[in-house]
Amino acid sequence: MATETRSSIRGSGLPPSARATHAPSPGTGYQPSPVPHDRLAGVHAGHRRLLALTAAVDDAVVARPSLLAGWTVGHLLTHLARDADSHTEMFESAGAGAGPHPRYPGGAAQRDADIEAGASRPAAAIRDDLAAAVARLERAWDHTHIEVWRTGLARSEAPASLADLVFLRWREVEIHTVDLGLADLGGPGWADLPSAYVDTEWAWTAACLPARLPPEVTVLLAPGDRPSRAFGAGPRRVILRASTLETLRWLTGRLPGAVAPPDWPTLTPWE
């Protein structure tokens, strides 16, 4: 297993999967491991914030529109539960040596049908379902052997390492908790995203930008709070002088076209 029970790490406040699996190098505190401790700690904290927020969700709130067009709060919470289940299945498949497991065996049709079927349930049922799905996923992480963390693959349709899979779950939790649009209940906005998540998302999403740009465009991301980066190789050059969070809203499809400056290029869909 990828967990450790030494007294030195008990009571650390982290889930077992985010605790040390190797003794640190003498004098450094560094713990080399294929287990993505920082990502596991981040998504565990995100799960706790999400579940605390849903405690305030009643039947009226479940039926509210979310910030995603066509989806209610009930749709989003059901999606987060089914996404957790899909991650559990992918980790269990990797642990069994069965090879990469599809995120949704029935494809997009299954995903959409499952979300639609659960979106109109009573709030209590949605809350309990989400909490149970999160618990199953966190158990799956804790039961994953360190060698599986090292060599396992997930998502037969687009293979990913298990460490990357943890990041993708972290992304779902952080972004969709904002997408719920529950500021009146203490829910977060973009400015409330944890800095560790923002840094990881920036590196990941920026690396994917070249494939999403029109071929005639070169973009310079110039947020001002971190080094600028250039992407693309086209003759039309665009400098995005926008904060990291505003740029991430654009990169993740959360910046309405009417708000984005007209010279910002149109990207292919974010995934």
> DSSP per residue over 112-172, as a string?
HHHHHHHHTS-HHHHHHHHHHHHHHHHHHHHT--HHHHHH-EE-TTS-EEHHHHHHHHHHH
- Angle, helices 73-95/107-119, rounded to nearest 10 degrees: 130
List the chain pLDDT tens, one digit each, 271 residues. 344 332 333 344 455 544 444 445 555 566 689 999 999 999 999 999 999 999 999 999 999 999 999 999 999 999 999 999 999 999 999 999 987 888 888 888 888 999 999 999 999 999 999 999 999 999 999 999 999 999 999 887 788 999 999 999 999 999 999 999 999 999 999 999 999 999 999 999 999 999 999 999 999 999 999 999 999 999 999 999 999 999 999 999 998 776 889 999 999 998 7
CA distance 141 to 113: 27
Check residue 100 and give its pLDDT.
81
Check residue 158 and give its pLDDT.
83
Two structure tokens written together for 120? 């109109």
**Does the 194-271 domain belong in CATH 3.30.1050?**
yes
As a whole number of Å, the CA-based R_g of the chain is 20
Distances in Å between the Cα of 78 and the Cα atoms of 82, 98, 149, 177, 250 are 6, 27, 28, 12, 25
Check residue 251 and give its pLDDT.
95
Domain boundaries, the chain: 16-21+33-191, 194-271
Residue 73 burial (10 A CB sphere; 0-12, 13-18, 19+): buried
Check residue 182 and give its pLDDT.
98
In CATH, the architecture of 16-21+33-191 is: Up-down Bundle (1.20)
CB 264: neighbour CB atoms within 10 A? 17
Check residue 48 and give its pLDDT.
98
Check residue 29 and give its pLDDT.
63
